[in-house]
Structure 1
Amino acid sequence: MPRLLCVGNGNLLLNFDENLNIRDMYFPFVGMENHVNGHYCRLGVWVEGKFSWIDETWDKTLKYKEDSLVTEVSLKKPELDLELLIADCVHHFHNIFLRKIRIIN
């Protein structure tokens, strides 16, 4: 299955699906060993006693920031009156996955 977003630095590669789940994580060599191994890592939110995984019920815009390998993701869930703005990247020189989440309610 195709992956919509990919971030990496040559040693660490992460691939995301249409629900921003991490579907592949290769380290220390891209393509050698997938540490997610057919499973996935997902993100969920808890708001005032209600829980929701990021799934097909969310309104999503997934893209890259212009001229970069930094993701620019907008996730909206009207039922929770919530918007998440997410930026993901892998450090150029160090094998560090970075995720910035801005919450708007």
Structure 2
Amino acid sequence: MSGCRWRVCQTNRSGGRISTLTRKPGMAPGARSNPHIHHGLEEFFVLEGDLTDYDVYSYRSGDFVSLAAGSAHCFSTEAGCLLVVTHRGATQSIQEDVL
């Protein structure tokens, strides 16, 4: 993912849980994630900025999002953002036309 800096805060390999924090500047303005699918629950909290899902739904500072296992998506940010992210299970890259 170009334009994004991550810091792993916690990893529980036996439970498959990973907690991360985007580091300042987080996702830089104009950054975009690669399309991917989570095989476990993903939750994130937007600390600062904006985040837009592939379906053009926008999240703002203060929003909490919970995505079910099996959700496929990619994100972009216009102004940049800082996030706290927790996910369980593997993450798999996919082609954008699968979304």
TM-score category of the 2 structures, normalised to the smaller one: under 0.3
Larger strand proportion, structure 1 or 2? 2
Which of these two proteins has the greater Rg computed from alpha carbons?
1
TM-score normalised to structure 1 length: 0.25
TM-score normalised to structure 2 length: 0.26
Structure with greater contact order relative to length (CA < 8 Å, sep ≥ 6): 2
